[in-house]
Structure 1
Amino acid sequence: LIEAQVDRTPRKVAIHCEHDEFLTFEQLNSRAEQVASSLRALGIGAGSIVPMCFFKSSAMLVALFGILKSGAAYVPLDPAHPQARKDSIVKAVAAEVVLMSDECIEAWTPPAPAQAVLFSAAMNGIDPVNTNGAAAATEPRSAGPNDLAYLIFTSGSTGTPKGVMLEHAQVVAYLTAQFGIPHEPGFGRQMNFASIAFDGSVPDLLGSLATGTCVVLVRTDRLLADLAGQLDATVATGVCLTSSVAAHLRPHAIDPQLHWLQSLILAGEGVKPDLCRDLKSLATIWNAYGPTEAAVEVANLGDSATAILDGGALASVPIGTPRGRNRLYVLEPDSDKLLPVGAIGELCIGGPQVARGYLNDEAKTKAKFVSDPFVEGGRMFRT
């Protein structure tokens, strides 16, 4: 999908980083192919899992796209996360290599036997001698719909990271539900706020590139220091935030500073109606819902501010209706019994976005990823 967008708009800006760095789709594709070629030379391809550790930068997106082009799945690591968490993830996926920026490798060395591969080396062709390995004897195969695209590790209720495995087919189903792929390019500039280690980054990064939208990247510390100022200075037309972060934009709804913002997506937390009312003048607000286990987002409430004003008194903003071919059921806990409208129960998700399961945890996968009792051959995730 991204390569198709490269063909459609090769000279359009794909990445705008830190106010003064730009990459076109053609440049992004060329550099990502260099990374992919270097990884393939090490035998990395479909079935491989490659962790990556980068601060927000154009190199981060080149590395991500390069891993996907090689056929491998990417595992995003946040440099700001504790070393123990990064170590445990690298060990869990049995990584052969970890693709890293020079800046990140100065602060953290991946645990053996994983070998750190510098992004700069990948761009110039990796010397297998320097990675304690030999060149691949055969060309790795390309990825197919049922191969993994990425793994996102969530903490869950136990605090132990769980690796959620998403296949290309599930990611494409998500992109189709949200954007209607193929997509005609427009003047869109999406600010990436979410950490790459969370699936909230997927629409900002993959969704934007697949639809011809420019990805705007600013380091997290600078965003937190002046969110409204950075949104305006970078001419961002869209951003996805948690409600607690979006609350910091309240002063600018009274004295508008955000001249370009058109779309504000709220996700990852419950949303109170008063927040939507307060921010209504800034942009069209969407309340989005979806767990990592169902490819980012399965439902949303469009124009949430208008919807809640028309809906009377509400304790929280509804999650809206299913997107695409997703199905939402409210079931009696630990059963397949559908509950009546208004009843409290367990929300279950069916459809093509349901993930493969949890890495190295067959028991939990069987418990949470089950057959859809209402659709023959379908799968369902119990939230």
Structure 2
Amino acid sequence: TPNNIAVVFEDKQLTYKEVNEKANQLARKLREKGIKPDSVVGIMVERSPEMIIGIMAVLKAGGAYLPIAPEYPEDRIQFMLDDSGSQIILIQDKFINAKGSYRNAEFISIENQELFTGDVSNPKLISKPENLAYVIYTSGSTGKPKGVMIENYSVINRINWMQKQYPIAEGDVILQKTPYTFDVSVWELLWWSFTGAKVCLLIPGGEKNPEEIVKAIEKNKVTTMHFVPSMLSVFLEYVEEKGIIEEIASLKQVFASGEALNLKQVEKFNKLLYKEKGTSLHNLYGPTEATVDVSYFGCSTEEELELVPIGKPIDNIKLYVVSKEKGLQPIGVAGELCIAGDGLARGYLNRPELTEEKFAANPFAPGERMYRTGDLARWLPDGNLEYLGRIDHQVKIRGYRIELGEIENRLLKHETIKEAVVLDKEGADGNKYLC
């Protein structure tokens, strides 16, 4: 598919051949600067064709990309550069002067056309499946962000599963709208390139604007996209209020993750889009530490749902619901959701103690590791998992253990309740009450 359109941004289009050749040229320049397997290369750009080319070039050079939001405070950026050992940062010109001088870092303008000269052939493959693909920083409880290291084979496993489960082809268009500092962006950035499909890049900041999203869907005939559930609600309200179902009729499949998806959101989606246009909604769940998503559930069905599960494990992933005593919980009993399999991160960069704590030995499969999510879940009789909130949302009142997330889920089933938060408060009599 060398002459197929690969990347669309506003009125600019690049073919597969153009993207590949530019990425190859930049990859060779990065290799000349010493980039090799497990080298971390920072990228500080807005959503743009340069973002795609930069990420592809880092991967082709054999390195791992580190997405940096240009709006991050300087001390956070310096911490990420120091912690990751990243000595090269690909940057757009507009951000070079806006940022101070960072220690031990060379900024390379990705808009410098001299980078895109010379040999356009694919560089020799030097990275292996167990080498790093990317490092994404998530907020840490100590106040310092922690770098999650994801390896190539974990990314390949995740995208191969997605293509098998939700196949896309040359006629499909993915809308890339997730900021690249969030790991949901990984499949938006890469999946299309496995199949000859097309990626449409939403204008920077457009992910917060339902009008811009609708415009992009209509103009580019987008077929596949993602929402966090709260933004999905805003989008559906906008579509319903404006009566513009026809404008988004190209949509075939929509994925939701990043927050708990509730029954009201699913019912509204199915009423507006599934029943009218056949667009399907899929609930995905997974932490950054397990390569984007580890479970899936199809929400668009003729059957009436009682709740919205997070579903069943994706390929080459094992999910366990574990008790405090480190045993497996029976069906219907809540416990900590733990993950094993090909999606697990290598660990946290330069945080061996935390890595050992969170990526523990798997007692159910000797020799394997298991990631402890801190999320509460339970198996349902049909083999799906129900997400119940964070473990620290479990409270004890009068000796009873109460899952606040479970009560919130029940409240959300009431037709007049849109959002619900349940807290435990101490009354004047010293007893705890729910409110």
Structure 1 residues 184 and 263: CA distance shift in structure 2, 3 A = closer
Deviation at 1:123, TM superposition (A): 5.0
Structure 1 residues 158 and 192: CA distance shift in structure 2, 3 A = farther
Percent of residue pairs bearing the same amino acid type: 32
Write the distance in 1 (CA, Å) between the matches of 2:98 and 2:146. 24
Write the distance in 1 (CA, Å) between the matches of 2:305 and 2:48. 42
8 Å contact 2:22–2:116 — kept in the other structure?
Answer: no
- Is 2:92 the counterpart of 1:108? no
Superposition pairs for residues 292-331 of structure 1, below 5 Å? 292-302=288-298, 304-306=299-301, 309-312=303-306, 314=307, 317-331=308-322
Equivalent residue for 1:14? 6
Equivalent residue for 2:187? 203
Q: Secondary structure at the match of 1:173?
A: helix
Query: Which residue identity lines up with residue 248 of structure 1 in the other structure?
Result: V
Equivalent residue for 1:243? 229
8 Å contact 1:74–1:149 — kept in the other structure?
Answer: yes
Query: Which residue identity lines up with residue 162 of structure 1 in the other structure?
Result: K
Query: Which residue identity lines up with residue 233 of structure 1 in the other structure?
Result: K
8 Å contact 2:229–2:260 — kept in the other structure?
Answer: yes
Equivalent residue for 1:134? none
Q: Secondary structure at the match of 2:112?
A: helix
Equivalent residue for 1:133? none
Write the distance in 2 (CA, Å) between the matches of 1:194 and 1:169. 22
Write the distance in 1 (CA, Å) between the matches of 2:55 and 2:160. 20
8 Å contact 2:78–2:103 — kept in the other structure?
Answer: no
Deviation at 1:122, TM superposition (A): 7.0
Query: Which residue identity lines up with residue 160 of structure 1 in the other structure?
Result: K
- Is 2:160 the counterpart of 1:187? no
Write the distance in 1 (CA, Å) between the matches of 2:348 and 2:105. 21
Write the distance in 2 (CA, Å) between the matches of 1:161 and 1:300. 28
Write the distance in 1 (CA, Å) between the matches of 2:266 and 2:71. 31
Q: Secondary structure at the match of 2:200?
A: strand
Query: Which residue identity lines up with residue 151 of structure 1 in the other structure?
Result: V
C-alpha distance after superposition, 1:91-138 (max 9, x if no partner): 111211111111221322451111111113375369xxxxxxxxxxxx
Superposition pairs for residues 127-138 of structure 1, below 5 Å? none
Structure 1 residues 94 and 122: CA distance shift in structure 2, 3 A = farther
Query: Which residue identity lines up with residue 280 of structure 2 in the other structure?
Result: T
Equivalent residue for 1:131? none
Equivalent residue for 2:331? 341
Equivalent residue for 1:46? 37
Query: Which residue identity lines up with residue 291 of structure 1 in the other structure?
Result: P
8 Å contact 2:177–2:206 — kept in the other structure?
Answer: no
Bigger CA radius of gyration: 2
Q: Give 1:359's match in structure 2, choosing from 339, 349, 364.
A: 349
Q: Secondary structure at the match of 2:367?
A: coil
Structure 1 window deviating more from structure 2 (9-18 vs 231-240): it is 231-240
C-alpha distance after superposition, 1:134-188 (max 9, x if no partner): xxxxx9981111111100111144442110001111111212222249x873311
Write the distance in 2 (CA, Å) between the matches of 1:214 and 1:294. 26
Q: Secondary structure at the match of 1:112?
A: coil
Structure 1 residues 89 and 78: CA distance shift in structure 2, 3 A = same
8 Å contact 2:224–2:253 — kept in the other structure?
Answer: yes
Q: Secondary structure at the match of 1:347?
A: strand
8 Å contact 1:91–1:111 — kept in the other structure?
Answer: no
Q: Secondary structure at the match of 1:195?
A: coil
Query: Which residue identity lines up with residue 365 of structure 1 in the other structure?
Result: T
8 Å contact 1:236–1:261 — kept in the other structure?
Answer: yes
Q: Give 2:58's match in structure 1, choosing from 67, 78, 81.
A: 67
8 Å contact 1:156–1:162 — kept in the other structure?
Answer: yes
Relative contact order, higher structure (CA 8 A, sep 6+)? 1
Taking structure 2 as the reference length, what is the TM-score of the superposition? Answer: 0.77
Q: Secondary structure at the match of 1:163?
A: strand
Taking structure 1 as the reference length, what is the TM-score of the superposition? Answer: 0.87
**Structure 1: segments with no counterpart, 5+ residues:** 1-8, 127-138
Structure 1 window deviating more from structure 2 (252-261 vs 338-347): it is 252-261
Structure 1 residues 141 and 310: CA distance shift in structure 2, 3 A = closer
Q: Secondary structure at the match of 2:37?
A: coil
Write the distance in 2 (CA, Å) between the matches of 1:154 and 1:75. 12
Structure 1 residues 122 and 64: CA distance shift in structure 2, 3 A = farther
Query: Which residue identity lines up with residue 50 of structure 1 in the other structure?
Result: V
Superposition pairs for residues 215-294 of structure 1, below 5 Å? 215-225=199-209, 226=211, 227-251=213-237, 252-253=239-240, 255=243, 256=245, 257-280=247-270, 281-282=272-273, 283-294=279-290
